[in-house]
Amino acid sequence: MDQAADIKELSSLMLSEVLNDIGVNERMVLKMRQVNMLRETMSNITLWSIGDNMTTYYLGSQSEGTTTVGLQSDLDILFFENDVNVIQDWSEWEHGKVNYLMIQDENTTPGYCFLQLLQSDEPFPAIVIPKEDHITDRNGRILLKNKLNNVISPDAFQIGPSFALHGHSGMLDEDFVKSLPCKSWPQSASVWLEKVSVSRWLTQDIRRYVAGTGCFVVATGSKVSKYPEQEWRISTTLAERCLMFNLNITQIRCYVLMKMILKSYLNPEGETHLSSFMCKTTLLHSIENTHPSIWKENNLLVCLSYCLQKLHNYVQYGHCPHFIIPGNNLMAGQFTARERHTLLKRINRVINNDVHMLLNICIDDLGYRLQEKLNIVPRRVYNLQTSLEVSEYCSTIHYINFANAMSSNHKGVLIIVQNEENIGALKTILYKLLSYSYRSNGLEQATCRIVVSLLLATFGTVLASSCIGKNKQVSSEALDWLSKGLESDVTSSRLKLASVYYCTGDMVKTEFILRYIENQYFSVPILHCCSCWDQTPPEVTKEFTRICNEENVDCVKHITAFCVKFIKAEINCVPHELQYEMFRSTQDDMLHRHATKSRGMDWSIIDSLIYLYFLQYKTYRQLGKFQEEQQALRKLSRAIAEEENLGHRETALNILGQCMEQENRPQAAFNCYIRSLHLRARNNAARVHICRLLCKLSVSKYN
């Protein structure tokens, strides 16, 4: 008996080491949480600054740090409009908001509710149906149907109560869940709060926090409901995130193993009878019902067996109580009696052969790694990634996601202020953010500065463009704003400053700045970062992954080069060759623009490295430095041909084509424009350049 226990303990330690090697460790968990909390805060600060009455929360395994690369978990984003108010008591009614009363009666499934529409000017039930997404029930109440409208993207597709959006440019796949907020704690979970007060695991601080998180209602009805189109599921997702943040590493590893077993053995054909949320719920119940001392690395297999046995019992009786709202049976209507029998056989097989089953899990090479740890096969026989390589890869993925989120947020603000007559909005947004950064602290202050950094250069360039348009000297205010924004990333803001000096004819300062940028660019590994279009995941260097792994997320601004974006209000700070990009679309092209991806097509957007070499070429040409000019042209041509991470290659080819025209090489220019059109057939300034070039050649032929 002691020998069996020793083997179990040794196997648990080896399994813990394997999970550590694939990134399930305290350091990586904290890094994932930090990145996603920053993204959540950045999203909300951006929405607030532009006056969008929306709030988002980043949830699920990615934000909890309870996943691995091989599990391929989506990023769950819950969002809601702040002018909607779900109440459980009439005292919570708010004037001017869209108020709904949460109704739970004999007709609703436990854990679900109806939403009765109330008047916005008085705390009484509404008596007139406002639109087609409401219905009057037999009691005369006007109820909101749980029908969803796609407000995310034309590319998003609906899965239950969420809209899924495939990731691009290294971004994670995202599930957007529309919800409605309720400020008060759900009455159906009040018993749980009382139970928390005597829990060995959950502290009073946790109790106070979760009680203040309120809840949400999500647009989906129970599978066993009599009224599936009218029911809304009550969600305590913020409280659940808090609980997951308070797990120790063994508990997190146990959850990760349950999800691997679920994917490998319990839902092998992609079935949905059991879900990762059921595994999470099972884990939480298991933690609550056991002493904290058992959740240690050398006891991991015992903990896993306990959770699997509890899951088996839930399946056997077809009843898995929600951890916070126990009346909500998560397994109601999830499987038939035949399917239950199959699931029980699968779970029993795993419980009775736990180590053997783990040895055959392919996700993250878990089985192969465990075989090596237990000396079943010689070390390195499978040529697996080292723990350092896994850590570097994971860190890089998270930081690339964060950099792309920075770029997307910046673009979102520019979309609001893109018209010249609305440019006052940019100043308002900027001052709101600056004011907020001084008032806030910690995470919000750090995030606010991230959002501000890219906007500072834009605002400075807008002011400079206004001065140039009025034939005035660029104001010290404009240059001051530009200088404050220089640390947004390695290149883009400095390139804007260089562009200002170039357009004012100060070639000496332009050359100095460009030389500095180039030295900086090649002194550290740089990632070209562009979230404008769908791209293959970017190639990164070994040194880049090392930096991502060793440093915190603040390092992103020192190792990324965002594309340079000029809105029309900055046009006088844009060389004329690049101004064509602001007028790339014919009336016919307008009809073929993508609803979301084409935003920004009336701007000039160019990759930083391409713009660096182009400005060098133009500057040296103005300075009469022929050798340096030709060297810059060769660099520009080589970058377009060899750089794999360019987001605006068609624009780069249009720029190169115009350089070739200036070199009196019309055939080379024409070839550039044709190559550009092959990349993007519509909404491409190459058409204008071809017409212009042919016209010029025709005129010169007859002169």
Query: CA-to-CA distance for 467 and 457, rounded, in angstroms?
Result: 15
Query: CA-to-CA distance for 675 and 646, rounded, in angstroms?
Result: 15
Query: CA-to-CA distance for 604 and 581, rounded, in angstroms?
Result: 5
In this model, does residue 411 exceed pLDDT 70?
A: yes
What percent of the chain lies above the pLDDT cut of 70?
Answer: 93
Model confidence pLDDT, tens digit, residues 327-356: 999 999 999 999 999 999 999 999 999 899
What percent of the chain lies above the pLDDT cut of 90?
Answer: 68
CB burial readout 661-687, b (16+ within 10 A) else e:
beeeebeebbebbebbbeebebbbbbb
Q: Which residues pair with 151 in a beta bridge?
A: none
Domain ranges of the chain: 1-54+247-384, 388-407+432-567+607-639
How confident is the model at residue 144, as a pLDDT?
94
What's the N-to-C CA distance of the chain in angstroms?
Answer: 102
Angle at 333 between CA 328 and CA 334, to 5 degrees: 95
CB of 639 within 8 A of CB of 522? Answer: no
Q: Of 645, 648, 646, 675, which Cα lies nearest the Cα of 660?
A: 675
Q: Which helix (H) or strand (E) holds 77?
A: strand 75-81
Model confidence pLDDT, tens digit, residues 634-689: 999 999 999 888 889 999 999 999 999 999 999 999 999 999 999 999 899 999 99
More confident residue, 164 or 21: 21
In this model, does residue 698 exceed pLDDT 90?
A: no
Model confidence pLDDT, tens digit, residues 460-510: 999 999 999 999 999 999 999 999 999 889 999 999 999 999 999 999 999
How confident is the model at residue 294, as a pLDDT?
95
Query: CA-to-CA distance for 502 and 572, rounded, in angstroms?
Result: 11
How confident is the model at residue 216, as a pLDDT?
95
In this model, does residue 702 exceed pLDDT 70?
A: no
Q: At 535, is the pLDDT very low, low, confident or very high (cuts 50, 70, 90)?
A: low
- Helical axes 249-261 vs 276-288, angle rounded to 10°: 140
In this model, does residue 285 exceed pLDDT 90?
A: yes
Q: What is the CATH number of domain 1-54+247-384?
A: 1.10.1410.40
